[in-house]
Amino acid sequence: MALSFAQPQAHDPAHPSTALGVDFSEVSRTFTTKKESRTVLSGINLQIPAGQVVAILGASGCGKSTLLRAVSGLDAPTTGSIHTGDHEVLGINELCAVAFQEPRLLPWRSVRENIALGLAPGTGKADGEQLIDELIELTDLSHAADLRPREISGGMAQRVSLARALARRPGVLLLDEPFGALDALTRLKMQDLLLSIHASFPTTVLMVTHDVDEALTLADRVIVLGRNGEDTAATIIEDLEIGATHPRQHNDEQFIAHRAGLLRLLGVDPTNH
């Protein structure tokens, strides 16, 4: 049974969707050193509609985080192109916000001040304060707003990281294993929180995870990256649409079937897990 943290709700008309589509066209990425050249991604063609939540699965080292970095502009494809909305990504992508596995909070700033760092340039003082207040309430941080990162738990720090990313009102929210370092109970609560955030501040979400259950719990669509051989670059080997509504039950027949299929693609025997 899913644990309740913040129940998903209908989109708040006070926060119209900022979501943008993401389009990968023949994307590849090759890393070159003096000794060798290694291609980690090849032939990535993927169209993500605005507002969709997409989980990216794959073995370690197959290029999941590289794909996210390319959308954010922190890295660039060797060939091909990426668009967010009508904007081709040719440098740091101001239409995106990123939350990493580690919260990366500034230790000398309070929770409120860390969230404020995410505000888009030019945001008015009153509008910024109102948005921060709403995000603090949504992420259940009101009691901790004036505390420093050393004074809060890992789960609370991750909530601050998400609130900071949402403060920008991004067209695309990029999550690189944001719950991977959390204990199992906190991770379940954070999954509920992400659904609630997406309902209140609708945007497009691309999330890297190693957790098949997490992908099936949260995503509208699951992308699996994989290789056809040890020396080949990773590409898309599965693009699975999830039709079930939220909340999703792990004992549902469709959930179980999808889980087994994804585990097999990842080289795991589902009967042992």
Instruction: Give the pair of three-digit tokens for residue 131.
Output: 């948005």
User: Residue length, the chain?
Assistant: 273
Backbone dihedral region for residue 80 (phi beyond 0: left; psi -120 to 50: alpha; all else: beta): left
Q: Residue 9: pLDDT above 80?
A: no
Domain for residue 161, yes or no?
A: yes
Domain for residue 40, yes or no?
A: no
Segment 199-258, tens digit of pLDDT: 888 999 999 999 999 999 999 999 999 987 666 799 999 999 998 888 888 889 999 999
Instruction: Give the pair of three-digit tokens for residue 246.
Output: 């939220």
Average pLDDT over every residue of 35-42: 89
Domain for residue 75, yes or no?
A: no
Bridge-based pairing of strands 96-99 and 87-88 is unpaired
The domain that holds 129 is classified in CATH as 3.40.50.300
Higher pLDDT, 146 or 200: 146
Confidence of residue 60 (pLDDT cuts 50, 70, 90): confident
Q: What is the pLDDT of residue 231?
A: 65
209 within 8 A of 176, measured Cβ to Cβ: no
Average pLDDT over every residue of 147-176: 93
Distances (CA, A) of 189 to 4, 7, 73, 269: 7, 10, 30, 28
Domain for residue 39, yes or no?
A: no
Q: In the chain, what percentage of residues exceed pLDDT 90? A: 66
Q: Could you give the CA distance from residue 180 to residue 191 in angstroms, rounded to a whole number?
A: 11
Domain around 173: 52-60+93-268
Domain for residue 42, yes or no?
A: no
Q: What single-letter DSSP state applies at residue 250?
A: T
Query: C-alpha angle 163/195/208, rounded to 5°?
Result: 80
Q: Residue 146: pLDDT above 90?
A: yes
Segment 171-200, tens digit of pLDDT: 999 999 888 878 888 888 888 889 988 888
Q: What is the pLDDT of residue 244?
A: 82
Distances (CA, A) of 108 to 13, 151, 168, 252: 35, 11, 21, 46
Q: Could you give the CA distance from residue 47 to residue 18 in angstroms, rounded to a whole number?
A: 17
Q: What single-letter DSSP state applies at residue 180?
A: T
97 within 8 A of 104, measured Cβ to Cβ: no
For 234, the 3-state DSSP assignment is: strand
Q: What is the pLDDT of residue 14?
A: 52
For 41, the 3-state DSSP assignment is: strand
241 within 8 A of 191, measured Cβ to Cβ: no
Bridge-based pairing of strands 172-176 and 96-99 is parallel
Domain for residue 155, yes or no?
A: yes
Instruction: Give the pair of three-digit tokens for residue 116.
Output: 């404020």
Count structural domains, the chain: 1
Segment 61-85, tens digit of pLDDT: 889 999 999 999 999 999 999 999 9
Domain for residue 144, yes or no?
A: yes
Backbone dihedral region for residue 240 (phi beyond 0: left; psi -120 to 50: alpha; all else: beta): beta
Domain for residue 87, yes or no?
A: no
Q: In the chain, what percentage of residues exceed pLDDT 70? A: 94
